[in-house]
Structure 1
Amino acid sequence: MLFLCEHLPLQTTAPIEILDITDRVRKVFDQHRIQNGQVTVCSAHTTAFIALNESEPMLQQDMLDFLIRLVPSDAPYRHNINPVDGRLNAHSHLLGLFMNASETIPVVNGELLLGGWQSIFFIELDGPRAERTLRVQIIGER
């Protein structure tokens, strides 16, 4: 039985950004190929999240527009009165209430069981950030 966790660095360039990380996760999976088990992808942050969805450019723009409308960054949030790290990011934390810090993908017969239209996304809500960490945990049998 294999148990491992790899940390992958990421950079983001926009206040809210959706990065398709499917290829990066597959690369880690391919290095440690298991036959049956699971791969968990986890964000190490309170303002960046993981999601499974379709990788289509117009849909991704719709997602960005939706997030911006859902929780506007310029509302009078208490968290922004005296932010600990100087970032006015209350909206980022509030958007995170609707997201997951991780996603787990089953592995059967050596294949990641993603749906035909599913991709893995890292969703930045408080960018840009020079350093973000993505964790990929693999558990299974070879």
Structure 2
Amino acid sequence: MRSDVITVQTGSRPTVRDITAEAQAFVSSEGDGLLHVFVPHATAGLAIIETGAGSDDDLLTAIDALLPTDGRWRHRHGSPGHGRDHVLPAFIPPYATVPVLDGRLTLGTWQSICLVDTNGDNPTRQVRFSFLPG
């Protein structure tokens, strides 16, 4: 197994950040196997979705509808509504696994690996890539 960590700047607002290029660069010298992607944070997740056609903004809108930033949350430190950020990984998990064939991610035509971060209090994230040879 080979593993590496990248740092991703997500900023101070909720964001969906495409990390497919970084993932592909990590596996490009590999053969067949699995890429496992993990975010070691309690307030971020990973999604495999289409980006660039509005789906990333639609995802943030859906998160806001499902997990609003209001006073309902018992977890209350940080920005107002921050408790929802701690619930996010139950809906958008902090991990994803993608098959790799001959050093290429086998994503569908419109699929991208995206870091989903709704926590503006923590603008710097770590993402671990692990390659498991087949």
Verify same fold: TM over 0.5.
yes
RMSD, aligned α-carbons: 1.6
Between 19-28 and 109-118, report the one with greater CA deviation: 109-118
Q: Would you say how many aligned residue pairs link Structure 1 and Structure 2?
A: 133
Structure 1: runs of 5+ lacking an equivalent: none
Q: How far 1:128 moved relative to its partner? A: 4.8
What is residue 15 of structure 2 aligned with on the other side? 17
What SS does the aligned partner of 2:132 have? strand
Identical amino acids, percent of aligned pairs = 28
1:87-108 CA distances to partner (integer Å, 9 max, x unpaired)? Answer: 5521111222111111111112
What SS does the aligned partner of 2:34 have? strand
Between 51-60 and 4-13, report the one with greater CA deviation: 51-60
What is residue 112 of structure 1 aligned with on the other side? 105
Does residue 86 of structure 2 align to residue 90 of structure 1? no
Report if aligned partners of 1:11, 1:129 keep a CA contact under 8 Å in 2: no
Greater C-alpha Rg: 1
The TM-score normalised by the length of structure 1 is 0.85
Distance 1:25 1:110, change over 3 A: closer
Does residue 110 of structure 2 align to residue 125 of structure 1? no
1:93-132 CA distances to partner (integer Å, 9 max, x unpaired)? Answer: 1222111111111112332111111100000021253421
The TM-score normalised by the length of structure 2 is 0.89
Does residue 73 of structure 2 align to residue 77 of structure 1? yes
What is residue 61 of structure 1 aligned with on the other side? 57
The separation in 2 between residues aligned to 1:128 and 1:18, in whole angstroms, is 15
